[in-house]
Amino acid sequence: MMKDLTLKEIEVAKKIISAGLVKSAESLSFFMNETITLKDFDAEKNIDNPPLELGKKDESNIHLLTTKVIGEMNGICCLIFSEEEADHLRKAALPQEILDSPEMMEEMSDGIMLEVDNIISASVITQFSNLLKVKIHGGVPNLKKVTSNEMEEFISGEVNKELYLISFKTSFESSKVQFNPEFVWLFDNTFIESIKNYAALEA
């Protein structure tokens, strides 16, 4: 885990994770047609062993989007929206002709969420892949609408497989409205090994 890294390696890890998360905010900005930033991402505080303390407590119909990381590093990306945040994103990202059509909305409503997850996951994966020189890509995204208990059970389940030993969490911030989707990544130990290799090359 992070405690297995030297101070230099931790700095490298923070740099790479931050670079990935900045990319994710840029991608989300594209869909929202406004500037989305990371909300006070504190790498020290937010990169930790699971279990995580997740927000969106006491909520139902949480949109849990997941994309598996496939290749030389294993992981899973979770993008978590409340129903209200998902609606806000749809209104910002979909053309008016689709918003005005109940039939088209029924087809596109989940599709836009999946594409957002696809692009955000891929933007982070691309950063990690290019920087860490690992061959990885994202799988096909998946959307589940769950209660907060089900969401925590899902993430705890992934953690309990003992595959995922590092996680980081942040949330996004819009200048216009309350919009704080959460972004959780879980990686196996190959992430730590990749950081060590990268830090050694930088030395």
Partner 1 sequence: MKKVLIVDDSMYMRTLIKTALTATERYEIIGQAGTGSQGIEMALEFEPDLITMDNILPDMIGIDIVKELRAEGISAKIIMVSAVGQDDVVAEGKANGAQDYLVKPFTAEQLVERVDNLFI
Residues 33 and 92 sit within 8 Å (Cβ to Cβ): yes
Residues 9 and 196 sit within 8 Å (Cβ to Cβ): yes
Q: How far is CA 189 from CA 37, 49, 113, 183, in A?
A: 29, 12, 29, 20
Q: How far is CA 59 from CA 13, 81, 91, in A?
A: 33, 10, 21
Residues 78 and 194 sit within 8 Å (Cβ to Cβ): no
Q: What letter would DSSP give residue 52?
A: P
- Among 111, 176, 177, 202, interactor with partner 1 by CB under 8 A: 111
In the complex with partner 1, which residue's Cβ is closer, 127 or 148?
127
Ranges of H-type helices in the chain: 7-32, 43-46, 83-93, 96-99, 102-132, 148-160, 190-202
Q: Determine, following the binding rule CB under 8 A, whether residue 119 of this chain makes contact with partner 1.
A: yes
The one-letter code for the residue type at 41 is: F
Binding mask 7-46 for partner 1 (x = CB under 8 A): --------------------x--xx---------------
Q: Determine, following the binding rule CB under 8 A, whether residue 91 of this chain makes contact with partner 1.
A: no
- Residues in contact with partner 1, total (CB under 8 A)? 25
In the complex with partner 1, which residue's Cβ is closer, 114 or 159?
114
In the complex with partner 1, which residue's Cβ is closer, 46 or 129?
129
In the complex with partner 1, which residue's Cβ is closer, 10 or 132?
132
In the complex with partner 1, which residue's Cβ is closer, 3 or 135?
135
Q: What's the min distance (Å) between Cβ of 130 and partner 1?
A: 6
Binding mask 133-172 for partner 1 (x = CB under 8 A): --x-xxxx--------------------------------
Size of the chain, expressed as the number of residues it contains = 203
Stretch that binds partner 1, among 8-16, 46-54, 122-130, 151-159 (CB under 8 A): 122-130
The one-letter code for the residue type at 58 is: D
- Among 82, 118, 174, 194, interactor with partner 1 by CB under 8 A: 118
Do the strands 62-71 and 166-174 form a parallel or antiparallel pair, or are they unpaired?
unpaired
Q: Give the residues lining the site for partner 1 (CB under 8 A).
A: 27, 30-31, 95, 98, 107-108, 111-112, 114-115, 118-119, 121-123, 125-126, 129-130, 135, 137-140
